[in-house]
């Protein structure tokens, strides 16, 4: 997936966000659209996005692959793998399979645009 700052991406995985010091992971909403405000390229090759989630408690985030501390403690960096640039038929099929019909309707509308 080739993305740049300013692109809009859709969250397809909001599971297991790292818990911060206060015990609350920031809210990354499944299937919500986010604008990429910043990107971090870790030494290990992993790409993380700043999509505007604040890091509560200013503990910062670490790379989930190599545990390297990511810059700017005010940002809760999110792994780029959590996002797609657009919905596909696979997302639609998965939503139907999981009986998430409201979501399926949203995805279908997006696909038909």
Q: Which two tokens stand for residue 40?
A: 């971090």
Neighbours of 76 (CB within 10 A): 24
Among 43, 40, 46, 47, residue whose Cα is nearest residue 75: 40
Which of 6-14, 30-38, 42-50, 90-98 is the region at the interface with Zn ion (rule: CB under 5 A)?
42-50
Q: How far is the CB of 32 from Zn ion (least distance, A)?
A: 25
Q: Is 19 helix (H, G, I), strand (E, B) or coil?
A: coil
Pick 42 or 95: Cβ nearer Zn ion: 42
Of the candidate residues 44, 69, 105, 111, the single one contacting Zn ion (CB under 5 A): 44
Chain contacts with Zn ion (rule: CB under 5 A)? 42, 44, 46, 63, 65-66, 68
């Amino acid at each position: 997936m080739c993305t740049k700052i300013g692109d809009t991406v859709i969250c397809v995985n909001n599971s297991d966000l790292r818990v911060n010091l206060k015990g609350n992971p920031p809210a990354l909403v499944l299937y919500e659209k986010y604008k990429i405000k910043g990107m971090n390229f870790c030494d290990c090759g992993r790409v993380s996005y700043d999509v505007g989630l604040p890091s509560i408690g200013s503990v910062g985030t670490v790379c989930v692959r190599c545990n390297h501390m990511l810059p700017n403690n005010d940002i809760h960096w999110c792994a780029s793998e959590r996002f797609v640039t657009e919905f596909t038929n696979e997302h639609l099929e998965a939503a139907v399979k999981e009986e998430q019909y409201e979501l399926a309707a949203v995805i279908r509308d997006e696909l038909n645009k």
